[in-house]
Amino acid sequence: MNITLNGVSRQISSPPLTPLLRVLRNELNVVSAKAGCEAGGCGACTVLVDGRPQRSCLTAVGSLNGAAVTTLEGLGTSENLSAVQQAFVHHYAAQCGFCTPGMVVAATAYLDAGGSDDKEAIQEALGGHVCRCTGYLKIVNAIAAAATQSEFDLTITAEEPNVVVKTGGR
Amino acid sequence: MSIDVLIPESVDAAAEAYGDGRDVTVVGGGTIVVQLMTQGWLRPTRALMLSKAGLSYVRKSGSAVTVGAMTPVTDVADLFAPLGPCAANVGDNEIRAQATVGGNLCAPTPPEHPSGDLQGPLLALDASVRSTGAGGESTETVEEFLTHRDARLVLDLSFEEPVAGAFAALDRPHAHHPTALAVSAVKAGDGSIRLAATGAGPTAIRLSSAEAAADDPEAAGQAALADADLQDDALASAWYRERMLPLLVQRVLNEIKEV
Ligand SMILES: Cc1cc2nc3c(=O)[nH]c(=O)nc-3n(C[C@H](O)[C@H](O)[C@H](O)COP(=O)(O)OP(=O)(O)OC[C@H]3O[C@@H](n4cnc5c(N)ncnc54)[C@H](O)[C@@H]3O)c2cc1C
Ligand code: FES
Ligand code: FES
């Protein structure tokens, strides 16, 4: 069987009941999708199947013959980050980074489907994604920013720090 | 050991591949079966994947609705109560898009807690289940089906839009589990009231004693305890469920009374 992975047609030799996550990581050597729980409960393994976010750990690869699968590797490169990836960097939306590929993939699908910067809608869209580090606030802020902005300043230097100024007393 | 995997591309081919169902593991959306295989609880020898079998559809004709077994839970989330709100409450949006209605009806009952939230609304709607297997195709009520659901391939479910419906569930701390306890109510065209609960037994159950007392929601709530088989499990204690079941029954009855 075949899938189109990040735009390239790939032949799959794993048995049809193998979870897509294991096919990606073990057979195709594409490792952005993470094995968090392998039971559908964390979202770290999320990839796009024909443009829609899906848990790769719950997806038997045999159901995907002819489908287009997009992983984080298909969204941007280190030199050319996607808007969502830039927003994650600019807003410090990743700490350990384990949940980040799933978050970015799901956020991309949400925005591609016309999702807005409404924070409740973003929380609902990413309701299946667990992050143990960030407290979610920065992730939601980053996605909200990416809803209205496609370029972010990533050149944070001592001369041009990313400073937040707040004024006012108690 | 190699596994025989069948991926039929029509309903007839699926029925033929299923045969009498012996030693066949059906894979619907896979949200339960695939993790059971990953964890080693399930080692199929023959698997039937329904992804291309043409069983995903919601057909409406007047007040009659038919839902294919492979229809994603998302696609029934905007239907009337109690089914719609119950479906909208399943997992998160990615799970709802992958999980199927047929897989939910057939969700195995693990020792940790009951599973299959949609069973309650389907019972209250008195849905009929069209299935195939040994002896060929047959149609029966959900209530009958739940007594032997391991041995059939579900094709679709049919039910009538009720005059009124309501769904009430205990809120969940997170979206990773079925609800600990939920009650569905339906007022049928003839004015009769049907009540069903999930989380009050190994599968969803009809609350017939509560139905008989439905004119008085408080009494009906107490009566529901006689219908239930409340257990301690990972989601809630029997003690807690005993206190919450009457409340949920009262809530749904008050809701449909106003219609
Ligand atoms: C993170 C997470 C959250 C979840 N939250 C909920 C929740 O809130 N509420 C809830 O009810 N469930 C929940 N589930 C469980 C599950 O997703 C649902 O029950 C779902 O509807 C199962 O459908 P499926 O198609 O994915 O099932 P599958 O895994 O494909 O199958 C489930 C069972 O049904 C059988 N089966 C499937 N289709 C058929 C058919 N047509 N005929 C006969 N047998 C069939 C399979 O052999 C298997 O035994 C959750 C799961 C996860 C991973
Ligand atoms: S690894 Fe798939 S949801 Fe956790
Ligand atoms: S950044 Fe560590 S889990 Fe989210």
Q: What are phi and psi of B154, to 5 degrees?
A: -75, 130
Give me the mean pLDDT over the B132-152 stretch.
Answer: 92
Query: What's the structural domain count of chain A?
Result: 2
Q: Does A124 touch chain B (CB under 8 A)?
A: yes
Nearest ligand 3 atom to the CA of A96 is: 2
**CA pair distance B98, A100, nearest whole angstrom:** 21
Give me the mean pLDDT over the B53-74 stretch.
Answer: 97
Q: Does A49 touch chain B (CB under 8 A)?
A: no
Residue B30 to residue A58, Cβ atoms within 8 A: yes
Nearest ligand 1 atom to the CA of B104 is: 21
Query: What digits encode the pLDDT tens for the residues B78-113?
Result: 999 999 999 999 999 999 999 999 999 999 876 666
A53 lines ligand 2 (CB under 6 A): no
The bridge status of strand B58-61 relative to strand B64-68 is: antiparallel
* DSSP state string for B29-49: S-TTHHHHHHTTS---SEEEE
Cα–chain center distance at A60? 20
Give the relative orientation of helices A137-148 and A83-90 as an angle to the nearest 10 degrees: 130
Contact residues on chain A for B33, CB-CB shorter than 8 A: 60
What pTM did the predictor assign? 0.94
**CA pair distance A138, B55, nearest whole angstrom:** 41
Instruction: Please give the residue range of the domain that contains residue A64.
Output: 2-74
Residue B110 is predicted with a pLDDT of 66
Q: Residue A137 is part of a domain; what is its CATH number?
A: 1.10.150.120
Residues 58-77 of A with CB under 8 A from B: 58-60, 62-63, 65
Residue B108 is predicted with a pLDDT of 85
Query: What digits encode the pLDDT tens for the residues B31-48?
Result: 999 999 999 999 999 999
Among the candidates A29, A44, A74, a domain finishes at A74
Residue B111 is predicted with a pLDDT of 64
A–B CB contacts, 8 A cutoff, strictly below: 81
At A139 the three-state DSSP class reads helix
Q: What is the pLDDT along chain A (170 residues), one digit of tens a residue?
A: 999 999 999 999 999 999 999 999 999 999 999 999 999 999 999 999 999 999 999 999 999 999 999 999 999 998 999 999 999 999 999 999 999 999 999 999 999 999 999 999 999 999 999 999 999 999 999 999 999 999 998 876 677 777 778 888 76
* DSSP state string for A111-137: HHTT--S-HHHHHHHTTT---SSS-SH
Q: Mark out the alpha helices in A23-118 (DSSP H runs).
A: 83-90, 100-112
Spell out which residues line ligand 3, taking CB within 6 angstroms: A 94-100, 131-134
Mind listing the domains of chain B with CATH numbers? 4-257 (3.30.465.10)
* Residue in A with minimal Cα distance to B43: A17
Answer whether residue A163 is part of any domain.
Answer: no
pLDDT at B177 over 80: no
Among the candidates A45, A74, A103, a domain finishes at A74
* Residues 6+ positions from A71 with CB-CB distance below 8 Å: A5, A6, A24, A30, A32, A33, A47, A48, A101, A105
Using most ligand atoms within 8 A of CB, pick from A42, A91, A95, A141 the residue to mutate for ligand 3. Answer: A95
Answer whether residue A162 is part of any domain.
Answer: no
Give me the mean pLDDT over the B141-149 stretch.
Answer: 92
The percentage of residues in chain B with a pLDDT greater than 70, rounded to a whole number, is: 97
A91 and A51 belong to one structural domain: no
At A4 the three-state DSSP class reads strand
A99 and A118 belong to one structural domain: yes
A53 and A112 belong to one structural domain: no
A111 and A48 belong to one structural domain: no
Residue B112 is predicted with a pLDDT of 63
Q: A94 to chain B, minimum CA–CA distance in Å?
A: 22
Answer whether residue A169 is part of any domain.
Answer: no
Count of all residues that appear for chain B in the document: 259
Residue A60 to residue B49, Cβ atoms within 8 A: yes
Nearest ligand 3 atom to the CA of A93 is: 1
The dihedral region occupied by B125, where left means phi > 0, alpha psi between -120 and 50, and beta the remainder, is alpha
Q: What is the pLDDT confidence band of residue B151, given thresholds at 50, 70 and 90?
A: confident
Answer whether residue A139 is part of any domain.
Answer: yes
Q: B213 to chain A, minimum CA–CA distance in Å?
A: 38
**CA pair distance B139, B226, nearest whole angstrom:** 29
Answer whether residue A165 is part of any domain.
Answer: no
Residue B202 is predicted with a pLDDT of 84
A37 lines ligand 2 (CB under 6 A): yes
Answer whether residue A152 is part of any domain.
Answer: no
ipTM value, please give it: 0.91
A67 and A96 belong to one structural domain: no
Among the candidates A21, A42, A74, a domain finishes at A74
| Spatial contact of A126 and A90, defined as CB atoms under 8 Å apart | no
Give me the mean pLDDT over the B209-230 stretch.
Answer: 96
Q: What are phi and psi of B178, to 5 degrees?
A: -65, 165
Answer whether residue A154 is part of any domain.
Answer: no
A60 and A32 belong to one structural domain: yes
Answer whether residue A12 is part of any domain.
Answer: yes
Give me the mean pLDDT over the B10-30 stretch.
Answer: 96
Using most ligand atoms within 8 A of CB, pick from A133, A137, A140 the residue to mutate for ligand 3. Answer: A133
A14 and A60 belong to one structural domain: yes
